Each structure stands twice: as C-alpha cells, then as structure tokens.
Amino acid sequence: MPIDDTSKMMVNRTAFTGSRLKFLHQNLEKYTAARECTSVLPFLQATFASYWRRFSWTLEETQDEPPCGHMEVVEMLENTWKHDEEFLQVPEDANDDEMSDADWVVKWTTKAAREQTISSWFYWEWSKLPMNVKADLWKPILEAPFRSTRNHPAYEAAWLVYNRLYYEDRIKDAFEEKWHAAGQPMNRRLSIRHHCAKVAFESESMEFRKAMEQKARQEHKAALRKHWQITEPSNDPDIQYELIRRIPTAVNPLLEVISEYTGMTVSLLAGKAKGNDGCIFTRAHVGGTGGEKELTWEKHDPVGWTRTVNFFASFLKHTVDHDDATAQTPTLEIEVVQPPLDIDGEEEEEEEKNDGTTFGAEDVDRSDGPSFKNSPLSRKNRRKYKMSTKEKARQKLKESLAAANGKACVSKVMSKGKGNATTPRVRQRPPTRSSNPNSSFPTPQASPIATPAASTSAIVPASSSVDACLTPEESYDANKDNDTMGETGDGANQLADGSKKWLADLLATLPTGASWDWLCRHFADLAEKNYSHEWIATLRAWVAMEELGDGEGTGNLPTANRPEWVTWWIARRRTTTTSPPIPDIPSYINQWHLWWEEVTKDSERAFRLGKNGFLSVLMTLKWWRDLGKADDLVRWHDAVTKVKATMVELRSVNHRERRKRAAPAFHHDLNGVPIRKKQK
C-alpha cells in the first residue's frame, strides 16, 4: 500500500460508535481543557496511546468492538501505572521489530490515518460547543433582545380565533377560489382571507359562534395571567422562559455598552430553578460564564463587577453633574459588596443606585408592570417614558464612556467568535526505525488566513474613519483625498513585501470593530484591482454612507430584476472572491440596468446599509468590469458614476435627516436591533 495514502484510509469522523464514541466523549472535556492551556499535543499523544490500548489497529472497522474482557484488562494495567510516560505505552507496539516491513508500513499508515480522524473529531466537537443551539440553555438570554418585546398579549376576536382554528377545514377553499378569481394579488391576500373568514364565521350557528367567543375570552385570560405571573419567581418553565426572554431588552443595552468600553464580558446571569431544567434570571453578571455550557458560579468576577459599576457611576456623574463637560477617567469611587450568588435561583436584594432608585433585575423586569401601578403616567406615556429614557441613557452612556476612554470607534464584543485554532496536528510515530516511512509523510500545511490587515504605516491622516474627513456633509466630496491610492491600477505603489501600500492606507481608514469586519473584507476585495480613481472614489462614498449605520445593516435593496448572479454569490455566503461564470455579459449588463432602475425608483427604499445594501451593487459592477470585453465596458464608467452619485446623495439626505432629529436616530431600536418598518 502506498505510504502517502493516509488520507484515503481516513474514516469519517462520524464513524465512531459504541465504546469508541464513548471513549472519545469521555476525553472531550480534557481536550477542551488542553486547548485552553494551548497544550493539545501532550493530550493527543496520551489519548492516542490510550485509544490503541483499547482498540487495536487490527480491528478493521471503527465499529468493531474489542474482545470481551479486553477493556477490563487494559484498565487493570493502567491502574498499575504511576508515571506520565507509562501512559504513552501501547503494548502491542513492542512487537514492531518482528513485523515485516510491509506489515509495519500498513500498521503505521492505518494508525496515522485513524489518529488524524480522532484529532479531527475532537476539533469538530470542540468547535461545536459554543454554537450548539439545542444544548445551550443560555442562548435564549443572549437572543432575547433580538425578538419582539411582546409587552402584553392581545385579545383575539372570535372570528380570528375561528380563522386560526378552522382555516384548513372551513375557510381555505373559499379563500383560494376567491383569491384566484381576483388574480392572486399579494397585497390583498390577507384582506380576502379575513373577508372569507368573517363570512364563514357568520354562516356558523349562533351556538357555535358563542362557543368561539368564549374560547377567545378564555385564551386571552390565560395569556394575561401568564403575562402578569412573570413578575413573580416561579418554577414554571414557560414563565421562566418568558421572564428570561424579556429582561435583557431592558438590561442588555447598558451591559453591551459597558462591555464595549471595558473589554470585559458582561452578560446576564441566570440560575437553575429547583427541580427542573428551567432557568431563572437572577441578576446582571460580569465574568466568563454567559452563554457557555458548563457554567460555574466560581467564575464570577467581583472585581470586574466593581469596575462595571464604576463605569456606570461615571456615566451618572457625567450626565447629571457635567452634562457638557468632558468626563474624567473613572476612578474607584464606590465600593461594591458582591453578595454570594443564589444557586437556587431565588430573588436577591436589589442594588441601590446612588440616586436612590434601584438598578436591579427585578425592577427592570417590572418596568412595564406593577412597578408603574401607582405611577401617574398613563400607559401610553409610560411606554414613551421608558423608550425615551432608555434610548437617551444608552446614547449618553456611549458618549460618556467614549470620552472617558478616549476612544473614537465602538467595537462590538458580544459576538461569540472563537479564536483561530493554531494547535499543530499530531500523529503518534513509531519510536525508532531507520527506514521510518513516516518521515516521508507530507508536512501539514498551515493555512494562511487572508485578512485585510491594515498597515500601520498608512500615510493618511490619523483619523480613524473616512467620515472623519468627510463631515460635515456640506463639504463632502467623494473624489477628494485620493492621494493614497495608486495611479495606474494594478500593482500601483507596491511595497517590497508584495503588499500594496495605497490599499493598506485605504484599509486603515475604514471603521473598526467586529460589526465592520464584513465591510473591511469586501472593501479590500473590491478595491484591490484599483480600476480607476472614480472606482476608488465610489468605494469611499460607499464607506461614508455605511458609516451612517453601525455596520449591522438596515434591510435589503429591492430584489426585482436583480441579476441572478447576486443570489449565486449570496448562496456562497459572499465568501468567493472570484467572478461568477456569467455566460452572456451583454445580457447581464442589461439586467443590471433594469435592477438599477428598481433600486433607484424610491430613494427611501434605496437607502439600505449593510451586507444586503450597496455591497451587492458594487460587486455586480466588479464582475462587469472583470468579465466584460472592450465593448461591454463602454457603459461601465457611466454606471460607476451613477452609483457613486446616488450613494453620495443618499448619504447627504440621510445625514441631514438624522441631524434634524437630534437623536441617535439610526434605523435601530434601543437594543441595536434594526427597527421594523412601521405599519401604515
């Protein structure tokens, strides 16, 4: 057997079953610990030896169980060992010298392939841990701000309950017939359906209708009961889920901002309730446990909590006493005593803010409920009060902390990104043999990660963003400041190390932070070929427009008449940097113009930031430029000019609008979530 066929001998990592799978799972925790200490190599060496002691390489299939009693023998043997090096032994390897060269090669090739699979299995399982949705009890906490607040359950009219319960049986046919007759207008689908539901409901007997009305009342009553129940500690999993789902909408904005400026992990802490697998919110938390499996209270970070509270105190002091003054760097002004956490999940005492009001989870939770019972505010004003104060507080806190830290940009740190794994691949090798065939095994290749790292030697001004030299909008000119780019396209201003200095300079001007990674990546891709001054100016106009948002996106551009290759590109997660295989460029160009007409029909609809915004337009222009022949490129420059002008205009209009509103006024709510389009 050829010695380089290791990869062909690899089994799928899902092939491990039975006692082998059990063995791997038993060692997964140790692997995770080893990764944290960046010492995977010794772990793998010991684990491979342990594996081969239990599951001989001569068992042909990974499903084959070892002979009866073998495992017990191995365990007894291991119990006699005391030194680490002893655990690296594999008794059957002691006979290697008696094997023929051919058999020996087969053995070590087989083992090397299997070990590679085992290594892959560990990595795979480890990489899944933080993202394992089903097993992550805490995910609802972190996701809660991104859902509807659902402040109170609405009463459903009887005919709507009827519509929900009997649509399939008693309404659907009539609706479809009527809808088809009307030409299937999408914008009338629901109105026709409602009409049919009402007609069908009216045709039911009086007794049946009364029963529906009673059911509607009962459902609403039950929903309201559950709604108010959530303000009390409860072991009911439904109540607890609802509780957890709501609280972060109020608390997370504060925690997120603090997290951004302190660099600490700040999250919400929930505990297990007695007697079931549900969880109950206890309080805000600083430490390393939020969203992780194997959550342990010992990881709580009282020092971090103190720092967090100090930052909050600094914010209060700045906003209350020194509204227009520059905030001082926060110092340790208050001492926070962190009470022990209650694992039983019972409510603890609230923490007192220095203004006498409470800043505890319970208070936040009840902000829409009993805590307002005695308030003179009407329900309507309550909501306004809640929204405006939270939004202002969030913005003020950002400004205050930015001033305190001297930071110009905000980077989102709540993402669950993982560090790049750098642990070397490990294979156990035979101890010694002069003709060791393994020495000819290919060396594992490090896979370079192509990130558009910005050069620190940029010659552009020290401003951290394009916008810094573009605002105010009156003086905005996307054509200016082109001195950092190459003059003649590809290869311009190339540095000795092969990188392009003008590109590095441009990248250094882009906004920073996790939420802008996509923009930096795509900017580098789009700018790399440096087609023309106008093209780079267009890209700069794009960045300037995007900076009106926070990098998270505000919706999609119209998809009508959109070239199908955009879908092709999105389906590849926008990761491919090569142009799509467009067979008919003239047709593609015509399609592009049809789409552009759709995009520019409505300026409000055209103003879409983020990955689903003008990035797609720019990418289609790039493909056009890369794939088009001379004749095709006649209209390209005009198209680029049009796109740039549109983006400049959109930026100008929206920038002005936002200044007019004198508020953060991004298309995001107080949680940083894109605001849904309002109903007409």
Partner DNA sequence: TCTCTGCATCCATCAAGTAC
Partner DNA sequence: GTACTTGATGGATGCAGAGA
Q: Which residues bind DNA (CB under 7 A)?
A: 7, 12, 14, 40, 119-120, 122-124, 128, 131-133, 143, 146-157, 160, 163-164, 167, 187-191, 194, 220, 223, 379-380, 383, 420-425, 447, 449, 553, 555-556, 559, 562, 567, 570-573, 575-576, 611-612, 674, 676-680
SS (H, E, C) 45-93: HHHHHHHHHHCCCCCCCCCCCCCCCHHHHHHHHHHCCCCHHHHHCCHHH
- Give the largest CA-CA distance in the chain: 95
End-to-end CA distance of the chain: 72
Tokens 């005391």 belong to residue? 82
CB 190, min distance to DNA, A:
4
Select 188 or 366, whichever has its Cβ closest to DNA: 188
Q: How far apart are CA 520 and CA 511, in angstroms?
A: 8
CB 49, min distance to DNA, A:
17
Select 147 or 433, whichever has its Cβ closest to DNA: 147
CB 92, min distance to DNA, A:
26
Q: How far apart are CA 318 and CA 326, in angstroms?
A: 8
Select 415 or 641, whichever has its Cβ closest to DNA: 415
Select 223 or 492, whichever has its Cβ closest to DNA: 223
- CB-neighbour burial class of residue 309 (10 A; exposed 0-12, middle 13-18, buried 19+): buried
Q: Which DSSP category does 349 fall into?
A: P
CB 167, min distance to DNA, A:
5
List all residues 6 or more positions away from 588 whose beta carbon is below 8 Å from its beta carbon: 563, 565, 582, 623, 624, 627
Helix axes 614-627, 636-661, angle to 10 degrees: 170
* Contact (Cβ atoms closer than 8 angstroms) between residue 542 and residue 557: no
CB 379, min distance to DNA, A:
6
Q: How far is CA 576 from CA 504, 521, 580, 619, 632, in A?
A: 21, 11, 9, 11, 23
Q: How far apart are CA 11 and CA 417, in angstroms?
A: 29
Q: Three-state DSSP class for 376?
A: coil
CB 425, min distance to DNA, A:
6
Select 373 or 677, whichever has its Cβ closest to DNA: 677
Select 400 or 616, whichever has its Cβ closest to DNA: 616
Select 132 or 214, whichever has its Cβ closest to DNA: 132
CB 489, min distance to DNA, A:
25
Select 69 or 581, whichever has its Cβ closest to DNA: 581
CB 496, min distance to DNA, A:
26
Select 83 or 680, whichever has its Cβ closest to DNA: 680
* Contact (Cβ atoms closer than 8 angstroms) between residue 548 and residue 620: no
Select 81 or 146, whichever has its Cβ closest to DNA: 146
Q: Report the sign of the C-alpha dihedral through residues 372, 377, 383, 388, in that order.
A: negative
Select 164 or 533, whichever has its Cβ closest to DNA: 164
Q: What is the identity of the amino acid at 583?
A: P
Q: How far apart are CA 163 and CA 171, in angstroms?
A: 7
CB 378, min distance to DNA, A:
10
Strand 266-272 and strand 279-286: pairing? antiparallel
The percent of the chain in helix, strand and coil, each rounded to the nearest 5, is 55, 5, 40
Q: How far apart are CA 139 and CA 106, in angstroms?
A: 47
Q: What is the identity of the amino acid at 536?
A: I
Q: Which DSSP category does 167 fall into?
A: I
CB 153, min distance to DNA, A:
5
- Total residues belonging to the chain: 680
CB 227, min distance to DNA, A:
9
Torsion of CA 537, 538, 542, 548, to 10 degrees: 60
Select 220 or 642, whichever has its Cβ closest to DNA: 220
CB 569, min distance to DNA, A:
9
* Contact (Cβ atoms closer than 8 angstroms) between residue 612 and residue 553: yes
CB 279, min distance to DNA, A:
19
Select 249 or 411, whichever has its Cβ closest to DNA: 249
Q: Which DSSP category does 525 fall into?
A: H
List all residues 6 or more positions away from 543 whose beta carbon is below 8 Å from its beta carbon: 466, 509, 510, 511, 519, 523
